Structure 1
């Protein structure tokens, strides 16, 4: 069972005026595999940096210089009145002010205190200016090229004129607070990262914070959480080698194939008509594989160049559920949420409380929860009346279009042979320490042309049935986030929502990313609301499916989007008969129900397990408590084992030495705790089975990651012993079957773990290979000297769980490693009957300064499944306060 963690308070004889530095006895964290950008982002000269880190000033002055004052009185220009900031044992600030302006000024000031480099890094990425910060690093330059092609900053600037006056005021106040902190500080006073970067590139004082910097961050969040782009490209990529549509479909089973339950049942639905949104595919992919090969290669090169900011790929998802008061000990609803995102240090979330002294029209906020450094307000959390959680809806909001281009024109309509000019603009990418780069950006009506993003030649495909006079092929991207929206308005609206209608009104403004909203109210209601800008696609009889699952021909206007689903038609539910709602990235609606949202959902193993655990306890008549919700969040039962172990136990392994691993599976309860030898062996078998089965059939870019979709694929293949994928194409003249693939996976797993862990299976344990090594996005890579790397990267922690398990500590089978790649970026449980009995924890800590005691002080508790008290009432906040600061005009 999960326990609440406690922090040892500083004694009264140890007054603090600045954030304490961390202990110096940090063991070697070791290198962690990371993205190419993380490994190369700094590109530091080893000799120069070693000279810096070897000096006494590095540890005594450089590391401590950015630590902020967290108590006493501080003058903050831009404030209208006095503001109180109370920090608890984890350093989480609760801000109390007399007006909304001062709340957001103070939040901006505190974010700059705690995490300005993270904010600055984010805004350089979202503006396509990363090379200005880190220098002439190829990965940074490529990221800038792609993001400039997307035009994130231009879209954010357009949103500034679209959002409400209240939102503009909040963004301006927040920027005032950030700039008040920056005003009298140089780079070395803002983050140790600037000091280290300054050994290679010329760094001047950071630019003032602009309100549009905050809006641009929403584009990065939307990009990472945009839905099925991976599946869309992978279908085409798989077809390039498999060359069989039916086999491609086998690799992408529908949600119904998972046999799991959507978020809403037919009886739960409360939607509008939605007639324009229904659609279906009536054709199969039939255009030439050469075109598909080149289109996918072009798209993948471009989109892969964008740094991961929130989370992407295998394991990116979330759990959330809410239980009605009729099933709880308090008689009021309980809500749980744990978003599964990329894990790095500092973490993606920033905990905060924002409290008006008197809540009213002039100052409507009394809210606490998780926000983003760089954006005002709270994204997930609760106020006095309502709690809400978010999970990724996986709605299909992107489509890749294959375009025919000639010079700077593109084919709008093949039937009428209508060629129209592309929109063009020139972007100048400035490189710190290098020459500027001129980039020509081109766009069609569908979106930016990605083949221009990396300044490469146009994609050339094979001639088709229409002849060779139609130019060359390029690929463009249609994405809902490239149109200005009002998501910033939605964030502020959710902070003051009190009931289902308020949530629906806020959701109508929540354009991107498309998220599931679960909520509960203090007066006893629970519900679900789907927000998001969802494209409407017509049914088309043509060369490819029209439902957004494959790249689309840009020269056929019938494939163009026909508008967006009306917000009134988006799915919602209030007080369902079941007494609970579970949203864990599975399908929102039963198959065939409108509006159409996507064809690519999580198969639902996590959601089904949560539903099962909730139903079991309800049927047993045992009311839920906060501790019960935390226990479910920590559940590490494996649906992979449930599906595969019975089959694995039936395989005859002739050699007793090789069979020693298989013996661990007999009697295993399928839990994946850190001390489980069976879990270690089973996951090794799973890794090897995927490689043995698909490595010879698929291109390297599509190597199986081992997540839920692959479980459905393999589970269904087990019923077909002669499925073509079981055969190893590399063995000429021999056709392998299922049992041979299973035997090879079992034997090689035993031998692998003999090398990786021990000859004796009794010594194996899952935690030894399933570790999380948090990495700083700029200073944590292998190219950074070990002394710096070890200082900014915490020690690895062993974790239970795994991919598609409720405790979703995912790993990527295609890497050959069991290292944790994504996981619960935070955990929150809210008790609407007693908000002060709620709990929360995040993966790192509130500070972005490596010398701070709050840099990673929540990591051990998070890894152990523990949590911290989540105070909310004025009395609870004051009682938990360990440091108090007064901000004054």
Structure 2
């Protein structure tokens, strides 16, 4: 009986295992059916001549076409084959249509975005587009849909969601530009709102002091009038008279404030200074990290009147243009400029009618526009957008007055495909003019040309303000303040062929004087990173490509070393055991870098943030007490102002509710850092930076399929780097690519990025090249030897 039972059990087990194996094979076969086509010959309707797409060992395509339209159509094809789900999320995220795909959890996200009505903006942009751009957009869109249709099985994400992908529309490409506005420009609105809270509640001299960018660590390329505002004296502000009970310590533990993570690096060296006589451009854009990476590498070639035009660099799936890279004559890179291309307008409401607001032309009624949000598996949700002549009602001020968002991203004059014109420029003069007219967010544009010249300007459209500087919300009701269109591309700030032969940007203030007034202050980043880049460039003798990469990977903690020396002086004579251990680790466990093995680095970092938090909570106590939503992290001057105050130690700016002396405050920051380091009985020496800075990059599906980590994530790794140094690195934020190139010398160019080319976990290119990014290896910019060859031919009709 037992034998028979065992035999039956084995037969059943074998059948179950066999069935499981068959199902696993069927699932694998189905999933592999959504992998892109790499070899053979396929029909691509619309191409005028055969197009060759070769791929190297990393899956990087080289598209060789007979003309630009065919090349653009083919780029759309390969984007869709490799990255369609990413493209879909981009367009849906900008349009506020994620819930239609992903369900009720995304309704609130869609509601926040729908007030911009970007789908309507995108349609109007397409309808007014010049023919040279419209033809390229039409070809790209057709290529995307052909690439999607040519997958034997729809992308795996749609199989998991049990949804069908929707065709790509021309307006969807514009939505990818709107998505970049949201990522790179939109934070200025929050900065302005936080600034307004400070200005509305604190005494004027103190508000001016806190809201004016401080000079310490400032590293502009172009000198201008100094920023600093004098410290308010005791007759103007005296915190000793305040009774606010706002918290004096952070609840964030070890914060990485938003303003300390966003950004990028870019610099250029004129040919007169380099080893080979060619200008050098370096660029690494710091963004949120995920799989697949936001960028898609490509080389695209076609013959034109000048010979063969060959573009190489980064593309954005969903968009037909080269974002950064080289065309052989000009190379260019981008960083967030924190220019000010938006404003908050205070509405003056009619006391007798809450639907009317005052304008220079009299009272007008706020329009209520319905935005219907489709929700997968649920009923639609309707958002009523309150629209004014200046833009949508976005929030309200401290007094309850509506705040309207006036933003260039809402205007068809400021959103376009003008960045495509950069691709065919021949020198920095042409490139700067094309960049200034590009309808993209306001970014630092750094470029170099084959003749050895370098230049800088601002992309996007800069508004022409009148009546105020744009830093704080004001009323536009009487016409004394407002916008009068946008600055002409030929009249925006630019630096051509700087005498020093160097340019650098790291989200800091670049320009001064009248140029700075035109750019505005959207919350410039601290200049410490820019300062380290500038000084690194100045120290180089005849640099080449490898030297540029070395600077991109520079993780020296020059900024925090200043705080380290300050902290050591503060505890020099202290005999408290924990403070002595603090000092020992700062001396002995410090190698001058943001090293993964260093506890000293992490302690100094925690000390500096504890100190900044205590000083700023004291200075802005009444604001915290009045506004639950206030966040001091948006005040970009906090590092430099704290540095100034703890050195000068004015007694009238010490928050007496919490501390009786500046020494007490500083030692409290030391104690706070040690409390974090020794939590749960841990030895402070074990509290290394590597235990915190573990980089974890994954596909968005991992959030609800954690059991699939093996397939949906890169290996989690502790990496060096931090915010205020060239090698910016956080857990899910850092360099989205590193590029070094000299125009005309692309074979010597360097490029690597996190993740791989493909968005498909079963593709050999899902993580191909990722380790080069992790280790900082100097992998090539151009695709390598071809290992796949696909020919796309006309349909013959």
**Residues 510-519 or 257-266, more deviating:** 257-266
1:645 and 2:564 are equivalent in the alignment: yes
Match status 1:258 vs 2:216: yes
- Shift of residue 473 of structure 1? 2.8
Once the two structures are superposed, what CA deviation does each residue of 1:528-554 show, in whole Å capped at 9, x if it has no partner?
Answer: 223331122223xxxxxx312122224
CA drift of 1:863 comes to 2.2
Matched, 1:102 2:39: no
Alignment of 1:90-489 (within 5 A): 90-137=58-105, 140-183=106-149, 185=151, 189-198=153-162, 203=163, 205-226=164-185, 228-238=188-198, 243-255=202-214, 257-265=215-223, 313-356=259-302, 358-360=303-305, 365-405=309-349, 409-413=355-359, 418-450=362-394, 473-485=401-413, 488-489=416-417
Contact kept in structure 2, 1:359 and 1:366, CA below 8 Å? no
SS of equivalent to 1:719: helix
**Quick one: distance in 2 between partners of 1:723 and 1:822?**
39
1:424 Cα deviation (Å)?
A: 3.5
Question: In the alignment, what sits opposite 2:429?
Answer: 501
Q: CA deviation at 1:54?
A: 14
Greater displacement, 742-751 / 847-856:
742-751
SS in 1 for 2:318: coil
- Partner residue in 2 for 1:549: 471
> Normalization by structure 1: what TM-score?
0.77
| 1:166 counterpart SS class | helix
What is the distance in 2 between the residues matched to 1:430 and 1:644? 52
Distance 1:588 1:53 in 2: 61
Of residues 641, 662, 675 in structure 1, which corresponds to 2:583?
662
- Cα distance in 1 for partners of 2:129, 2:258 equals 28
Q: CA shift at 1:399, angstroms?
A: 0.7
Counterpart in 1 of 2:528?
605
Superposition deviation, residue 582 in structure 1: 1.1
Aligned partner (choices 565, 571, 588) of residue 493 of structure 2: 571
Who is 2:8 aligned against? none
For the pair 1:886 / 2:791, whether they are aligned, the reply is yes
- Tell me which residue corresponds to 2:484: 562
Other-structure match for 1:822:
733
Taking the aligned partners of 2:679 and 2:705, their CA distance within structure 1 comes to: 29
1:587 and 1:792, CA in 2 relative to 1: closer, same or farther beyond 3 A?
A: same
Distance in 1 between residues matched to 2:550 and 2:727, nearest whole Å: 10
SS in 1 for 2:38: coil
1:520 aligns with 2:478: no
Check 1:245–1:866 CA distance in 2 against 1; reply closer, same or farther (3 A cut): farther
Give the secondary-structure state (helix, strand or coil) at the position aligned to 1:645: helix
Task: Name the CA shift for 1:525/1:640 in 2 (closer, same or farther; >3 Å).
Answer: closer
Deviation at 1:249, TM superposition (A): 3.5
What whole-Å deviation, never above 9, does each CA across 1:773-823 have from its counterpart, x for those lacking one?
12333x132xx142135531222221212112111225xxxxxxxxx3421
Gap runs ≥5 in structure 2: 1-19, 230-256
Change (3 A) 1:706 1:558: closer
* Deviation digits for residues 478-521 of structure 1 (CA, Å, limit 9, x no counterpart): 00111103654422111111113311331242133112211111
Unmatched 5+ stretches in structure 1: 1-51, 268-279, 281-310, 452-458, 463-471, 540-545, 811-819, 872-876
* Residue number in structure 2 paired with 1:583: 505
- Cα distance 1:860–1:537, how it changes in 2: closer, same or farther (>3 A)? same
Return 324-333 or 58-67, whichever deviates more. 58-67
**Pairwise CA distance, 1:756:** 7.2
Cα offset for 1:167? 1.1
Tell me whether 62-71 or 328-337 shows the greater mean CA deviation: 62-71
**Residues 1:181 and 1:851: Cα distance change in structure 2 (over 3 Å):** same
Go from structure 1 to structure 2 and tell me whether the alpha carbon gap of 1:690 and 1:62 turns closer, same or farther (over 3 Å shift).
farther
Higher-helix-fraction structure = 2
Structure 1 residues 764-803: aligned runs within 5 Å: 764-777=687-700, 779-781=701-703, 784-789=704-709, 791-803=711-723
Conservation of the 8 A alpha-carbon contact between 1:659 and 1:747: no
Q: How far has the Cα of 1:567 moved from its partner?
A: 2.3
Name the CA shift for 1:64/1:744 in 2 (closer, same or farther; >3 Å).
Answer: farther
The question of whether the paired residues in 2 share the 8 Å contact of 1:411 and 1:420 is answered with yes
SS at match of 2:339: coil
SS of aligned partner of 1:606? helix
- What is the rounded CA distance, in whole Å, between the counterparts of 1:423 and 1:364 in structure 2? 52
Distance 1:177 1:717, change over 3 A: same
Q: 1:664 touches 1:677 (CA, 8 Å); kept in 2?
A: yes
Q: CA deviation at 1:747?
A: 2.5
Q: Distance in 1 between matches of 2:281 and 2:681?
A: 40
Determine the structure 2 residue equivalent to 1:839. 750
Secondary structure, aligned partner of 1:212: helix
Q: Using the TM superposition, give the Cα deviation of residue 335 of structure 1 relative to its aligned residue in structure 2, in angstroms.
A: 0.7
**Matched residues in 1 for 2:438 and 2:565: separation?**
45
Query: What is the CA RMSD across the aligned residues, in angstroms?
Result: 3.0
Aligned in 2, Cα 1:325/1:375: closer, same or farther, shift over 3 Å? same
SS of match in other structure, 1:576: coil
Q: How does 1:70-81 map to 2 (within 5 A)?
A: 70-81=38-49
Is the Cα–Cα contact under 8 Å of residues 45 and 146 in structure 2 kept in the other structure?
Answer: yes
For residues 407 and 640 of structure 2, the distance between their equivalents in structure 1, rounded to whole angstroms, comes to 29
CA distance in 2, matches of 1:808, 1:647: 23
Quick check: 1:739 aligned with 2:685?
no
- In structure 2, relative to structure 1, the CA distance for the partners of 1:504 and 1:834 (3 Å cut) is closer
Return the offset for 1:673.
2.0
2:211–2:637 CA contact under 8 A, matched in 1: yes
Shift of 1:116: 0.6
Structure 2-normalised TM-score? 0.86
The 2-side partners of 1:488 and 1:405 are apart by 34
Q: Distance in 2 between matches of 1:682 and 1:259?
A: 18
